[in-house]
Structure 1
Amino acid sequence: MGYEYALVHLTYTIPPAILLSLIYWPLSTRLDFYRIAFLITIAVVSTIPWDSYLIRTNIWSYPPNVVLGWTLFGIPVEEVFFFVIQTYNTSLLYLLLNKPVLGAVYLVKEKPGRSKWKYVKLSGSIALALAIKKGIEFVRLGGDRTYLGLIIVWAGPFLFLLWNLAYQFLVNLPFTSTVLPIAIPTVYLWIVDTLALQRGTWVIESGTKTGLHLWPGGLEVEEALFFLLTNCLIVFGLVAFDNAIAILHTFPSHFPKVPELPSPVLLVKALLIPAATYDDDRILGLQQCVARLRAKSRSFYLASSAFQGRLRIDLVILYSFCRVADDLIDNAESSAEAREWVGKLKQYLDHCYGGAVKTKDGREISARDPNQGPATQWVMGQFPRDAQLTLLLLPTERLAKEPLYELLRGFEMDLSFSSSSGSVGGPIKSEEDLDTYGARVAGTVALLCIQLVMFHYPGNKSMDEGKRLMKAGHDMGIALQYTNIARDLEVDAKNKRVYVPPGWLKKEKLTPESFVSGILKTSAAKGVVSDQDSFFLKKVGVVRGRLLDRAFAFYEESKSAIEELPLEARAPMRVAVESYMQIGRELRRPGYKMKGGRATVPVGKRLWVGWRALLGPR
């Protein structure tokens, strides 16, 4: 009886498990626990017979003075625990690296005929089949390649099965999702194993190993291959699991309802659906939505990763719709063209909320029927290609129409700014006008987000409670818009737009015209400013401070309502709000960083703010 093997765990495997657990705990969900338990169960059940055979046939052994002496099918309990802890650590690292990933965008519809994916699948299958065949040969021949062959024969069939179930996902996912969670634990365990072999914690019998070493110091190539393949098995298994989850959440036409913890049978059913039946437009539309958010709404994209399943997909589509509408109007070459886009968007909403329509032969079709629906036909005929799918994916059946129409009224307020003849004018004449504007362009979006949360997680809230939560969400949206205006003073000045109420400017002895010209002048100075300009910047700081005070007043009044949301959305919504309000906190700090005329939050700080928000309210 000894403690050498137990000390390996206490020194090398348990500390990383504790560290990863602490880091990932705020991000964890019930589905994550289910995923890890699922993988650990499979790992233990599939490894015990193989490991037990190796010990009984004296291919490897454990000196009695290094193990406690308790066994399971002849396997020391420390070794059984190793199966558990390795799977746990690699799984947590995979989940941490994959948290930002929206699986739906990595699905691919396979076209009939000569699809490249047929050859990708075939190539991987042939390579794995040949490896298994070679492993069988090694086992039959015996001798110094026995252990090497047994490793391949054991791991190869599992890898072959997982490859054929999830080859598209494995190939499409970024390397940070697949290669890193394999490589990092593998190299770490290579080092641990080298130290353990040198101390004699476990021993590979000389007659069954090749005698080749990965590096000087005693790490046999068989052991190196074992850890590489076991981590491949874990990550391949997790990828297959996530592939099934992505299919379940992406295609409601195949799976109208999906339980929070899908059964193994349902997961396999999802993986076995032919890729040729995937909705290609839905995949492409989601890819466009994600690309748009990555480029233009980093704070929301970061926050969206904390949401789950179909709620996350709906929120990504909703926010992408807002960006599409905003871009169509902002990028118009004239105010007349911009107003035309607003009119087209209104017509689109009219079609979506007009209900089913009847064809000449008496059939009823939905507004967004892919062939004859009036909304579909309108979008395909009136909007640019990169906007079409986002519009058609917008879940209007789960959203009230009033906030969407109100959003368009907010865009119309933007269009009432006039830059003709160098003048500066606009719709913001008072603090009440600014509140109205914020309510229209941001409060509406926040309210729609709450509607989606309540749809996906209805719970037992009364109608009055639901209305109160949506009102709080609406006000929080106003807070975010005030923050946005405070951040974008320079950008808006370049467009000759002033969202600051004239009364606020008058108090600082400024007019909209002098406010714009002063900002443009000090911006062009690139840090070299006169005493007069410095005095002006102090006035700008006072105006920005008032905007932020108003933002944080709305924020403080509304933030407690977040804790009344359904549990599944509470922490993610906290992340979404805090990630954006952090911009306001940065603006209050002297020497804040600017990028493109806007204050920015460094990536590291955004991650820290998001992680803290997940832990709970401040």
Structure 2
Amino acid sequence: MGYDYVMVHVGYNIPVAVGLTTVLWPFMTRLDWMRIFTMITKALTATIPWDSYLVRRRIWTYPREAVTGYTLCCIPLEEVFFFVIQTYNTGMLYTILTRRLVFPAFVRPAGIKLFSVGILVPARAGAIGVKYLLQGGRYTYMGLILAWACPILLVQWAIAGHFILALPRREMVLSVMLPTTFLWTVDTFSMRWEVWRNMDVEETVSFLLTNVLIKLDPGFMARLGKAVRCLAISSQSMYMGSRMFRGPLRLDLIFLYSFCRVADDLIDNAPDRATAVTAIDDCKTQLAHRFSPGWETQGELQPSELSEARTALPASRLRIAPLQGLLDGLRTDTTFDRESGVFPIDSEDDLNRYAYHVAGTVAASVLDLVFHHFPHHASTTNATTRREVVVAGGQMGQGLQRVNIARDIERDARIGRVYLPTVWLQHEGITAVDVLDNPDSAPVKRLRGRLLVKAQKLHDEAVGALAFLPPEVQGPRRTTIASYMEIGAALLRGDRAPPGEKLQLPLLRRAVIAFRAMTARA
């Protein structure tokens, strides 16, 4: 009786499991835990009969001085626990590496050549395994590994090969090779049990294969892929927040954010005012078309990025009014005119109105989706609570828009816009034209600070309403809000983006923000 194998778990496998769990726990959903539990169950079901056969035939043995002596189907309990801990660690690592991915976007046909190779390789390897088994001798163990694992791999590939080929290579390779390399290292330095001398290659193949072991509308898939790319490129904070959501609500939010982003970009990137006004009118027309009864049969508008974003909108779960309000806010962007001296944000009330239209309305649409997906929660069913949540959402949106304005003063100046109220500018003794000419002047810096102080005040007044939302929503919403507010804090510290770019937070900082937001208590 010994504890060598137990100490391998204590020294290597369990610390890894604890570390992965600590990092990922705030981001895990019930579905994630169910997936890992299912994988562990399948691993035990598939592995125990196979390993029991190896032990009974003495192809694989465990020195008595290395194990405690307690067994299940002749397999030491330490080995049974290894099946569990290996599956758990690999599953958790895969969850971490693929958290950013929106999996339905990768459900699409793959090249027949690569798919065929994926069929032929495990089929050929399985045939070799059967050959080794029939020959017996020193290749028996390798034959058993291949004959056991390859049929399972073949079935997996036949069912999900197209999906696997579409997934990003980096995440897939790392999720297999990191745990495999770890197990190779542990086996090399800690576990010196011999099956046959100089035949350690079987162990490496076994670890590799066991880690590997671990139809929708194509138009929908294409639109989802474009929406994800649009969001990832154009709106870091919204994209990070959407990663924390799971399931249908996440998809709806991605499509909503994508429409808002596409509409905003059409205005910001228009070469002249006339083009921008035409873009707004087009957005209004397409939005009305999407929300009209029987819109699918009314004839498709000319294909464009906007029409695709409009088509993807989950209109049955949204109200049109907030989105129309968004477009009204974006129309304000078309009225700036340096030559005629028109700067529409004259007072703080104008700023409040604009911030609500371009951000508070988006918050209202997000809440529409939350109410739809959580129909029995108090925030949906209780009229008073629902009203408080909606008001707080609009207020939070106004605060976050102030952060946006403070961040983009220089970028907006390059396209002739000044969102700082004229009365504020007069108080500092400057004009909107002065901001356009020198957006980094001392008076402008003071006004940026004033914007951020007000943003913090609005945030502090509204953030308590998060406690009224469903628990599944609180953490992701807090992540989005905290990301914006951290950008505001960085601006107050004097951080600036390279010329022509938006200020963005470093990846590690974003990860820390998400962890804190997901673990925070209401």
Among all aligned residue pairs of Structure 1 and Structure 2, give the percentage whose two residues are the same amino acid: 40
Letter in 2 for 1:331: N
1:346 maps to 2:284: yes
Give the aligned partner of residue 284 of structure 1: 222
Letter paired with 1:439:
Y
- List alignment gaps of at least 5 residues for structure 2: none
Q: What per-residue deviation string (whole Å, max 9, x for no partner) do you get for residues 347-374 of structure 1?
A: 222223332xxxxxxxxxx11x2xx325
1:312 aligns with 2:250: yes
Secondary structure in structure 2 of the residue aligned to 1:598:
coil
Match of 1:140 among 131, 134, 146: 134
Deviations along 1:313-346, one digit per CA (max 9) or x if unpaired, are: 1111111101111122222232222212212222
The whole-number CA distance in structure 1 between the counterparts of 2:404 and 2:143 is 62
Matched, 1:231 2:214: no
2:412 partner amino acid: D
Residue number in structure 1 paired with 2:417: 497
Partner of 1:172: 166
Alignment of 1:128 with 2:128, yes or no, is no
Answering whether residue 307 of structure 2 is matched by residue 373 of structure 1, we say: no
* 1:467, distance to aligned residue in structure 2 (A): 2.1
1:189 alignment counterpart = 183
Q: What residue number does 1:153 align with?
A: 147
SS at match of 1:204: coil
Give the Cα–Cα distance (whole angstroms) in 1 for the partners of residues 322 and 250 of structure 2: 20
User: Match of 1:429?
Assistant: 346
Paired residue secondary structure (1:58): coil
Counterpart selection for 1:404 from 302, 323, 329: 323
Q: CA deviation at 1:592?
A: 4.5
Q: Does the 8 A contact of 1:424 with 1:497 survive in 2?
A: no
The 5 Å alignment of 1:3-42 reads: 3-42=3-42
What does residue range 138-537 of structure 1 map to in structure 2 within 5 Å? 138-198=132-192, 202-205=193-196, 211-212=198-199, 220-234=200-214, 275=215, 278-355=216-293, 366-367=294-295, 369=296, 372-374=297-299, 377=300, 380-381=301-302, 385-420=304-339, 423-461=340-378, 462-519=382-439, 537=441
Give 1:302's aligned amino acid.
M
User: For 1:473-528, what per-residue CA distance to the aligned partner results, in whole angstroms no more than 9, with x for missing partners?
Assistant: 11111111000000011111112211111111122111112222122xx5xxxxxx
Query: How far is the alpha carbon of 1:279 from its aligned partner?
Result: 1.3
Given the superposition, is the C-alpha separation of residues 205 and 599 from structure 1 closer, same or farther in structure 2, using an over 3 Å criterion? Answer: closer
Structure 1 residues 159 and 447 mapped into 2: Cα distance closer, same or farther (>3 Å)? same
Distance, in Å, in 1 between the alignment partners of 2:67 and 2:134 is 32
Tell me what 1:529 maps to.
none
Q: Specify the code of the residue in structure 2 equivalent to 1:610.
A: A
Aligned-pair distance for 1:591? 4.3
CA shift at 1:569, angstroms?
1.1
Q: Report if the CA contact (8 A) 1:105-1:283 is conserved.
A: yes
- Between the aligned partners of 2:327 and 2:305, the Cα distance in structure 1 is 20
- Residue in structure 2 matching 1:611, options 504, 515, 521: 515
8 Å contact 1:417–1:425 — kept in the other structure? yes
Aligned residue in 2 for 1:266: none
What TM-score do the two structures reach when normalised by structure 1? 0.82
CA contact (8 A) 2:290 2:310 kept: no
Give me the CA root mean square deviation: 1.6
Which amino acid letter does the alignment assign opposite residue 499 of structure 1? Y
TM-superposed CA distance for 1:595, in Å, is 5.3
Instruction: Supply the AA of the counterpart residue of 1:160.
Output: L
Structure 1 residues 496 and 593, CA gap change in structure 2 (3 angstroms):
closer
Question: Offset at 1:91?
Answer: 0.4
1:11 counterpart letter in structure 2: G
Specify the alignment match of 1:549 in structure 2. Answer: 453
Find the aligned partners of 1:540 and 1:494 in 2 and give their Cα distance: 15
Write out per-residue CA displacement over residues 376-398 of structure 1, whole angstroms, 9 at most, x where no aligned residue: x2xx22xx523322110111111
Counterpart code for 1:503 = V
| Structure-2 change in CA distance of 1:120 and 1:599 (3 Å) | closer
Change (3 A) 1:100 1:74: same
Matched-pair contact (CA < 8 Å) for 2:252–2:313 = yes
Per the alignment, do residues 332 and 598 of structure 1 end up closer, same or farther by CA in structure 2, a change over 3 Å counting? closer
- Whole-Å separation in 2 of the counterparts to 1:165 and 1:55: 32
Across the two proteins, how many residue pairs are aligned to each other? 519
Residues of 2 paired with 1:5 and 1:588: CA distance? 54
When structure 1 is superposed on structure 2, of 596-605 and 163-172 the one drifting more is: 596-605
Give the AA of the match of 2:11: T
Q: Retained in 1: the 8 A contact 2:93–2:175?
A: yes
Q: How far did residue 460 of structure 1 move?
A: 3.2
The 1:78/1:84 distance shift into structure 2, 3 A limit, reads: same
**Offset from partner CA, 1:179-236 (integer Å, 9 cap, x none):** 10110111111011012343xxx33145xxxx34xxxxxxx100110101111111xx
Deviation at 1:573, TM superposition (A): 0.8
Q: Which runs of 5+ in 1 are unaligned?
A: 111-115, 213-219, 235-274, 356-365, 523-536
SS at structure 2 position matched to 1:601: coil
**1-structure distance, mates of 2:97, 2:318:** 32
Give the 3-state SS of the residue equivalent to 1:182 in structure 2.
helix
What amino acid does structure 2 have at the position aligned with 1:96? I
C-alpha spacing 1:146/1:486, structure 2 compared with 1 (3 Å): same
Paired residue type of 2:82: F
Q: Distance in 2 between matches of 1:417 and 1:518?
A: 17
> Within 1, Cα distance between the matches of 2:151 and 2:273?
64
**In the alignment, which residue of structure 1 is the partner of 2:468?**
564
Q: Tell me, yes or no, if the aligned pair for 1:97 and 1:176 is still in contact at 8 Å.
A: no
Rounded to whole Å, the distance in 2 between the matches of 1:402 and 1:586 is 34
- TM-aligned CA deviation for residue 554 of structure 1: 1.1
1:97 is aligned to 97
- Aligned partner letter, 2:445: G
Cα drift, residue 593 of structure 1: 4.7
- In 1: Cα distance, 2:238 partner to 2:181 partner: 35
